[in-house]
Chain A
């Protein structure tokens, strides 16, 4: 039992050090200049269509967390709160699909006033997902009265591809688009105990997209 415990302790110490490699790429296209006042805010909305793809809520929450911290934080309004306040205009099937539709939306009773009351300056539509594109290997675990262990190795490759379309609600125009792509392979090695070596392309895409979004909004006035 003692060797097993020693191995477990070593694994627990090493686990945080083990992370897989992630390759990421961020691209930006700007249509107009931007800027944000301290009292103004941004809303991040995940695009949701009724096919089998949908932007994960955890991804938009991750971007909101990154934008809201650091030396130059941006006030972020939660998408649930925004959708409830503007119901029924930002539901999956009723939300504007392009900035050109904002003009029509703002003529609906109370919409412009409600948006102005919470000082929302920018709306960023986050669209994309993380998918497993390849997997393989094998690992088996056994347990008996004499102990147990896992042997073998498995891997899976994930691809995270997201883009943010940014609309300026003050000028009712599209100001640009940022895309983030990240790819990484995770491994699970069974050496008596299973040792995960995790690549987190979704996390890399989130941080890359959020930092670029911050620069995009505050960087050029």
Chain B
């Protein structure tokens, strides 16, 4: 019986390319926290028709986000679970925390079409230097792959990789345009330069060094309430 159950479970370790986003850099030095659940995210589900599925997407997802955040922010540093101490926040402007809220997939036998599809709901939260929440956003990534071209495990792998890419694309393009992020960038800009120019436009990457040099001369802030998860 155990052997029978084993044979009805399809295991997929998701693997795929990790493209580097070509987007405007958010001029901030961010700590990035990946929870253990995010790092080792697995999904298990049993369908009456197609049996059990065990999908391990943690490693691919982590690689993808490590590459994404490296391109998205001027500087990044992986940090432990918040709260962070004042000393730990000294060289950081804020903390970025991605998490997976939901993962789901559908097979052709369920959908009645020739495609496998997958979806991932991400939640990304951003906190400023003193631990106040800048904002949090839910982003859903979708992916699908042709059933005919792949075996079922390859097709789920491909659909999941596409879903990660889709979610990542939305984060890469849309995060910088979020009003809360723009307001945060503007407030940081104004705190360094009281006579700053018009709001609403992210500073260019060339400005980062100048901002950092001003920050480094600041007295460290007394932070007792760093980001909470």
Interface presence of B29 (CB below 8 A): no
Judge whether B149 and A91 touch: CB under 8 Å: no
**Nearest-CB residue, chain B, relative to A55:** B146
Q: With A84-B19, A111-B22 in contact, is A50–B173 under 8 Å at CB?
A: no
Q: With A58-B149, A108-B22, A109-B22 in contact, is A88–B169 under 8 Å at CB?
A: yes
Interface presence of B20 (CB below 8 A): yes
Interface presence of A38 (CB below 8 A): no
**Across the A-B interface, how many residue pairs have beta carbons closer than 8 Å?**
62
Give the size category of A's interface with B. 20 to 34
Min CB distance A110 to B, Å, is 5
Within 8 Å CB of B165, what residues of A?
87-88, 91
Complex alpha-carbon distance, A92 and B115, angstroms: 15
Judge whether A57 and B169 touch: CB under 8 Å: no
From 79 to 119 in chain B, residues with beta carbon under 8 angstroms from any chain A beta carbon are: 111, 113-115
Interface presence of B58 (CB below 8 A): no
Complex alpha-carbon distance, A150 and B180, angstroms: 69
Interface presence of B154 (CB below 8 A): no
Within 8 Å CB of B168, what residues of A?
88
Judge whether A57 and B149 touch: CB under 8 Å: yes
6 examples of A-B residue contacts, CB within 8 angstroms:
A57-B149, A58-B149, A80-B17, A87-B169, A88-B170, A109-B22
Complex alpha-carbon distance, A80 and B158, angstroms: 12
Interface presence of B15 (CB below 8 A): no
From 75 to 128 in chain A, residues with beta carbon under 8 angstroms from any chain B beta carbon are: 80, 83-89, 91-94, 108-111, 114
Give the one of B17, B22, B24, B142 with max A CB within 10 A: B22
Identify A52's interface contact among B20, B111, B148, CB under 8 A: B111
Identify A50's interface contact among B19, B20, B144, B169, CB under 8 A: B144
Identify B23's interface contact among A48, A57, A80, A108, CB under 8 A: A108
Per-residue interface assignment for chain A, residues 14 to 58, with 1 indicating a CB less than 8 Å from any chain B CB and 0 otherwise: 000000000000000000000000000000000010101010111
Per-residue interface assignment for chain B, residues 134 to 175, with 1 indicating a CB less than 8 Å from any chain A CB and 0 otherwise: 000000001010101100000000000010011011101100
Interface presence of B52 (CB below 8 A): no
Judge whether B20 and A94 touch: CB under 8 Å: no
Within 8 Å CB of A109, what residues of B?
22-24
Within 8 Å CB of B169, what residues of A?
87-88, 91, 93-94
Judge whether B23 and A84 touch: CB under 8 Å: no
From 110 to 155 in chain A, residues with beta carbon under 8 angstroms from any chain B beta carbon are: 110-111, 114
Instruction: Other than A91-B166, A93-B166, A93-B170, give 5 A-B pairs with Cβ distance below 8 A.
Output: A80-B17, A84-B19, A88-B21, A94-B170, A108-B22
Complex alpha-carbon distance, A87 and B166, angstroms: 10
What are the 5 A-B residue pairs with the smallest beta carbon separation, nearest first? A88-B169, A87-B19, A52-B113, A84-B19, A91-B169
Complex alpha-carbon distance, A207 and B148, angstroms: 21
Complex alpha-carbon distance, A2 and B46, angstroms: 49
Identify A57's interface contact among B17, B146, B173, CB under 8 A: B146
Q: With A54-B146, A57-B146, A94-B169 in contact, is A87–B113 under 8 Å at CB?
A: no
Complex alpha-carbon distance, A108 and B111, angstroms: 37
Min CB distance B149 to A, Å, is 7
Min CB distance A115 to B, Å, is 10
Q: With A52-B111, A52-B113, A91-B166 in contact, is A86–B144 under 8 Å at CB?
A: no
Per-residue interface assignment for chain A, residues 160 to 197, with 1 indicating a CB less than 8 Å from any chain B CB and 0 otherwise: 00000000000000000000000000000000000000
Judge whether B22 and A52 touch: CB under 8 Å: no
Complex alpha-carbon distance, A88 and B169, angstroms: 5
Give the one of A50, A58, A88 with max B CB within 10 A: A88
Q: With A50-B142, A108-B23 in contact, is A88–B115 under 8 Å at CB?
A: no
**Nearest-CB residue, chain B, relative to A94:** B169
Complex alpha-carbon distance, A58 and B147, angstroms: 12
**Nearest-CB residue, chain B, relative to A114:** B22
Min CB distance B145 to A, Å, is 9
Min CB distance B120 to A, Å, is 14
